[in-house]
Structure 1
Amino acid sequence: MRASTVTLPLLALLATGCERMPEDPVFMYGEVKHADGSPAGSTPLRVDRALDTANDLLAVEGRVWNYEPYSEGLTEASGRFTLEALSGDTQYEGYFPEGGYYGYLQHRFRVYPPLDEGGNGIFVAFSFYDDVELPPLQRWDSGLAVGPGPSLTFAPTPPAPRTPPSATVPEIMQGNEEPVLVPPSTPEPVVQLHGGDGLVWQQEHAASPWALSPYVLEDFGGVEAQVRAVSVGQWYFEPLAAEGSTLTFRQEWRSPRVPLPAGTLRPVSRGMPCSPAPVDRPCPYTDGKLEAVLTRPEGEQGDDLGVEALTFSLNTPARLRRVVVRNLEGTLGYQGRIRLVLEGSVDGGEWAPLGSFTVVNFDRDDPTRYIYQFSLLDTDTDSPFDGPMELYTPHVFLDAPLTGELPVRHVRLRMTSEEGSLTGLLWRLGEVSLFE
């Protein structure tokens, strides 16, 4: 999550500088293909650019890229294309008084064709500073469909982009072993369920068929399902007659959205108060709305990164059997595994365990994470078609049984490291639902 991740200095800071003048052209090469692999000739292309206006490269809030139209293009009959930008438009060079250094900030670009007739789409978002070849833009025919249960079925994801012959990939060293090459990551399906005002659910590493829990659907109506896939990576180009350039990219495929049947389960926590809660409004985490809301409103005194716990109060004691947590961001996103702890109480004095759940943020033993982080940090809003999808430090979505045997009136939610030695802060939350 954004609040827990220190934004790393961008790759341009590592460059020794560019000899091109700001008004010199730089080029982006690539090709567009239909889902069946045939060339997509005469296909219009959009090029958008987002300016990096950060004054402090170590800002804990990270970056939010605001894309604006930059240029347009058209593929040749072969599906190939060449797009042009000005060298001075790819980065900012100057002095940063907050950090006390002189450096570079790379602006961000994205290139994409329009959605096809079925609603399938693809884009690539990236930073660069000289001539580069982009990953092929081949749409994915996901075949997303709703089956009995309900369940979702979809086709295997596309393969990772093949590194062009003119590019090299990063290497990592593991002890005294030979260097290991790090090509672009293999795309894995991510299922998203969209409500009218936010995410109902997000499931990474989903497998087809994927069954929908009735507790996940709750009593929401108008929910739409979608499957997306992402590959990230770095390519380095060092042509003989031009400056070298690093392409750091996030490529994403998206399916159309398909409607789901309305849910039928209403939680006993609906409309119940919580503490602490935003001033002058009902609890936003039990209201049946899905917007993710800061746990500590901006401007309120205290730690602006969240609260240590949230307590939910029922009208009458209930024996709780299920909890669903939606779209939770905390300050332990840098931990490979965290733990969500739920406790119950009759009077708010003594607390008894209701459940303790391990949440896997990422594989702590994966050495490629250090390479891929450059392509994933602050890229969750890259899509020109859909809402955010955070994958570097995924938001928590939890659907789990509770084990308490006695009725409780108050329920407390906390976050810790897996072994319990660190206490995390709850920073932003969509919804918490408690079921009897």
Structure 2
Amino acid sequence: MKTRASLLALSLLATGCGTLYPEDPLFVYGRALHADGTPLAGTTLMFERKTAYDGSTPTVSVFEPFREVTTEPDGSYTLELLVKETRSQVRDYSFSLHAFRLHRQEEDGSESWLGFNLHGGDVELPALLPWQADLHTTPTADGVMLALGAPLPTLEIPPSATSNDWTIIETDGSRHTEPNPSPPSLWLELRSGDGILWWSPSPKETLAVSRSILEDFAAPVARTSVFIDGDWTFKPMVSLNDSYLSFYVEWASASVALPSGGLVPVSRGAACEPFVDTCPLTDGKLETIKSVPLNELRVRLPTPKKLRQAVVRGFASAGHTEAVVVEGSVDGQEWTVLGRATLETRRRARNAQLTNRLGMERFLDVPLAPEAPAVTQVRLRVVGEGLMNRADFRELSLFE
């Protein structure tokens, strides 16, 4: 009986050492498993491919159904492609770096994605299996603690592949090495209805969610995502060309219900500039993103308040934002810095699928100086290079 590695080697042999032509076949091998590692046998999987986009229309590329495969008794499958089907030009601004995708959704609502590009010949994909995160909650004095009951998922490099670590060159010319595939990165996503009330990377597998983040949004739910990306090389026995695979895998847990924070910000319904009538940034709604000039974002409180926390939801700006500064004033003339949130640079390759699904918005929980006096006005100021006079927000909440 031939192993999967030997089958891949034979297919690579079959390509020979000549140039690949548009009508030549390519084979993508993979395996689908249940969460317990047993084969997902006799199951139809739908591969999607991103539509070509040439910039002639405002519509960006989307993933559309491409080709079905059926898994064998051991869970293995083979996707047959033509060389020309891997060379579609995909150029848009939807943050997805991969032209092909496989998506699975389980009965409990958990999901997994496997996206990839290939070049030069046949390749083998990472095994795709669900992640049972066992996300559970524990009440705390200031909200709720989320904890994972399972370790983060990892990937095994197939015997037919080789992997080299990445050398990263920073903007200042310095270099460092990062592992390939990347270590699993954990992200937290909170929703209320159709609105995103929070998403951010999490450095730990226990995730504290404060009442300030939950606020008084109705029926909040939480889930976690784990993201891994990488690239592998496959060297045929008889060919001058190696085969390359670039990929990502993302797992998203089933959603769990959270208690309402029951906390109404003192800024709820407060007036703000430059808006003349109702302020859309303090109305407690998450459905839309509002654009405001960067240098004129002020909130006017009805009475003086000694503030302890600012929560900025769905922030995005044009340019390289280094930090968001929260300032307070009693007269609109003299301003005191109340707090500052420094923004880390996010490498696009590290979370291409997440930014494609959730967007580039930032969610900031900014502690404010306890020694600061009560203020009647609050101003958000953005610090950075190449900033344009515009920023987008979902909501700004101030708490005393």
Q: 2:111 aligns with which of 117, 121, 143?
A: 121
Change in 2 beyond 3 A, CA 1:281/1:197: farther
Q: Which has the larger radius of gyration?
A: 2
Change in 2 beyond 3 A, CA 1:204/1:375: closer
Q: Secondary structure at the match of 2:294?
A: coil
| Shift in Å, 1:110 | 0.3
1:22-42 per-residue CA deviation (whole Å, 9 max, x = no partner) reads: 343322211111212222212
1:296-351 per-residue CA deviation (whole Å, 9 max, x = no partner) reads: 5xxxxxxxxx6345212223332222211122123465x7xx33211112232221
TM-score normalised by length of structure 1: 0.74
**Given that residues 106 and 128 in structure 1 are in contact (C-alpha distance below 8 angstroms), is that contact kept between their aligned partners in structure 2?**
no
Counterpart of 1:112, as a letter, is H
- Identical residues among aligned pairs (%): 35
Aligned to 2:367: 400
C-alpha distance in 2 between matches for 1:376 and 1:148 = 30
| Shift in Å, 1:227 | 0.9
Change in 2 beyond 3 A, CA 1:196/1:158: same
Counterpart of 1:293, as a letter, is I
| Shift in Å, 1:359 | 3.7
Aligned to 1:161: 155
Q: 2:338 aligns with which of 341, 344, 354?
A: 354
Change in 2 beyond 3 A, CA 1:197/1:156: same
| Shift in Å, 1:144 | 0.9
C-alpha distance in 1 between matches for 2:99 and 2:22 = 16
Task: State the aligned residue count.
Answer: 368
**Aligned pairs for 1:30-45 within 5 A:** 30-45=30-45
**Given that residues 311 and 365 in structure 2 are in contact (C-alpha distance below 8 angstroms), is that contact kept between their aligned partners in structure 1?**
yes
Q: Secondary structure at the match of 2:212?
A: helix
Counterpart of 2:382, as a letter, is M
Counterpart of 2:220, as a letter, is V
Counterpart check, 1:237 vs 2:234: yes
Q: Secondary structure at the match of 1:380?
A: helix
C-alpha distance in 1 between matches for 2:97 and 2:207 = 39
| Shift in Å, 1:197 | 3.4
Change in 2 beyond 3 A, CA 1:83/1:315: same
Change in 2 beyond 3 A, CA 1:360/1:374: closer
Aligned to 1:300: none
Instruction: Note the aligned Cα RMSD (angstroms).
Output: 3.4
Aligned to 1:15: none
Change in 2 beyond 3 A, CA 1:73/1:121: same
Residue range with higher mean Cα deviation, 250-259 or 41-50: 41-50
Residue range with higher mean Cα deviation, 44-53 or 20-29: 20-29
C-alpha distance in 2 between matches for 1:375 and 1:360 = 13
Q: Give the gaps of 5 or more residues in structure 1.
A: 1-17, 97-104, 297-305, 363-368
Q: Give the gaps of 5 or more residues in structure 2.
A: 1-17, 170-174
Counterpart check, 1:287 vs 2:286: no
Counterpart of 1:110, as a letter, is R
TM-score normalised by length of structure 2: 0.80
1:88-120 per-residue CA deviation (whole Å, 9 max, x = no partner) reads: 2222369x9xxxxxxxx986110133x223222
Change in 2 beyond 3 A, CA 1:197/1:270: farther
| Shift in Å, 1:429 | 1.6
**Given that residues 157 and 188 in structure 1 are in contact (C-alpha distance below 8 angstroms), is that contact kept between their aligned partners in structure 2?**
no
**Aligned pairs for 1:405-420 within 5 A:** 405-417=372-384
Counterpart of 1:119, as a letter, is G
